[in-house]
Structure 1
Amino acid sequence: MRLTTVFASSCLLAISGARGVQHRAEFQPPNAGLVTRASTAGTAATDWVRAAFYAAKIVPDILPSFEPTRMLKVNFTNPELDYPTVIIEPGVLLTHNQTKYMPQFSISNFTESDAEQTYVIIQIDPDAPTPQDPWASQIRHYMGTNYTADVEVESDLLLKNISVPIGDWVRPNPPAGSDPHRYIVLLYPQPENFTAESVAPFYNSSSSILNFNLTEFTEATGLGMPVAGTYFLTAPDA
């Protein structure tokens, strides 16, 4: 499978563009060779993501603060395209077709303890229907629980989830005429008491995806702050 080089088209002034992906992932046995990945290089990477969130006004518009300690990778694959796979970096502009199918999630700069951790992943759109008039925001595009370590893929820890999501994944679909939307993906350590049943009074499968409030939800459910995150941009098809 060929992996495409993705060039960022971002609102970030401090970030010139996304770096291309040029390698093929090879799977290893589950939990094989898990070692401590957190390092000075990892800290530099998380500092870069933090700066991207502030530059894109995700902080304070969506999050009151953001201090990531892990790198979340989001991998979109559409086999219908000539270059089917992209791994996003903060601020990259993706086409509508590139985000057609639910992505795969992984963690880089991980530690051995991450292999035992359970995670929640939430994706939202704060720019609906348009960034200039986001009256429907936030749109809840995904809320999945019980993510755990699957296998180590090169230097990344692939995450898997076999439970039913609290909120099914909804494909990015900004309306015609809109500027690109920010789509924010966040990774949270999952508290032991965080289950579909425990959060049902605040959000469940029958809840509207419109006007979701991430801050209110995390405070009400005790989810806390994300340890990793990223975001991408998607515009309507021309």
Structure 2
Amino acid sequence: MLRLFNLWAFLLPGLLVKASPPDLGDSSLAKVRQKFEDFNIPANVHLTFDPVVLFELTFPEPGAAPIHVMAGEQLERNATAGPPQFALRSDHRAATGHGPFVIVAVDPDAPTPQAPTVSQIRHFLGGGFQFGAGHKGMRTLVNDTPAITEFRQPTPPAGSDPHRYVFLLFKEPSGFSQQTLVNSSTSIAHFNISAFADATGLGNPLGGTFIRVGPQEA
């Protein structure tokens, strides 16, 4: 679901007027693609990024409204505890097929953007995602199998500039569930998403988004 705002109501003399601020969610593939280029993500992770679907990342917030992420948005670390939820624009299903899908999240900036000597850090890797319920023009992505790498909250070290956390959606190839390159005990450091995608037949991503997160303030 895209970021939505409640209608604002205000009174003019003798007239009740309802107005809605503009939708702030990602609504353009071209703008998402440009955001990735602006932040040098395709060059840094060595993948071609030409999305065919709007991929939505949502962080549930206890006692508050969930955060529906816009590509490139900077979040406070305490807003990213997750686990996140994923969805696709319903009208883009023809471009993706019926699934299953693989979702991968990486940090190409560890330990700092200026010296990413242990990047990429793998923050999530899961397969078997299928379309779930539809709501307000979006279809959720759900699976019923454990992730290969469960979600790890962004945790940039003290003193670092904000890191980019990149979430990518791939079509799952036949036999992916039998891949042995990465398992639940494999180190999350020094991951290479482009090499992994080549070796497992993932190809280039169908869609994606990213957030920026700085160190937790004391």
> TM-score by structure 1 length?
0.78
Once the two structures are superposed, residues 32-82 of structure 1 have per-residue CA deviations (whole angstroms, 9 ceiling, x without a partner) of xxxxxxxxxxxx7111111111110002111332110000000001205xx
User: Which of 47, 57, 65 is equivalent to 2:30?
Assistant: 47
Identity of aligned residues (%): 34
Gaps of 5+ in 1: 1-18, 24-43
Once the two structures are superposed, residues 107-154 of structure 1 have per-residue CA deviations (whole angstroms, 9 ceiling, x without a partner) of 014235757221000000000111111111000000010000111111
Quote the Cα distance in structure 2 between the aligned partners of 1:214 and 1:192. 18
Matches for 1:184-199 after TM superposition, within 5 Å: 184-195=166-177, 198-199=178-179
- Give the conservation status (yes or no) of the 8 Å contact 2:157–2:215: yes
Where do 4+ consecutive residues of structure 1 move more than 3 Å?
112-115
Quote the Cα distance in structure 2 between the aligned partners of 1:137 and 1:154. 37
- Give the conservation status (yes or no) of the 8 Å contact 1:115–1:148: no
Quote the Cα distance in structure 2 between the aligned partners of 1:114 and 1:69. 8
User: Which of 125, 128, 144 is equivalent to 1:162?
Assistant: 144
**AA paired with 1:60?**
A
Could you tell me which residue of structure 2 aligns to residue 221 of structure 1?
200
Once the two structures are superposed, residues 82-129 of structure 1 have per-residue CA deviations (whole angstroms, 9 ceiling, x without a partner) of x44111111101011110121100001423575722100000000011
User: Which of 95, 99, 103 is equivalent to 2:80?
Assistant: 99
Gaps of 5+ in 2: 7-26
- Give the conservation status (yes or no) of the 8 Å contact 2:52–2:96: no
**AA paired with 2:5?**
Q
SS of equivalent to 2:176: coil
**AA paired with 1:52?**
K
Could you tell me which residue of structure 1 aligns to residue 53 of structure 2?
70
Could you tell me how far 1:206 is from its partner in structure 2? 1.1
User: Which of 138, 156, 168 is equivalent to 1:174?
Assistant: 156
SS of equivalent to 2:133: strand
Task: Provide the aligned length of Structure 1 versus Structure 2.
Answer: 196
1:87 has 2:59 as partner: no
**AA paired with 1:105?**
F
Identify, as 1 or 2, the structure richer in strand: 2
Relative to structure 1, the CA distance from residue 50 to residue 85 in structure 2 (aligned partners, 3 Å threshold; closer, same or farther) is: same
Q: Which of these two proteins has the greater Rg computed from alpha carbons?
A: 2
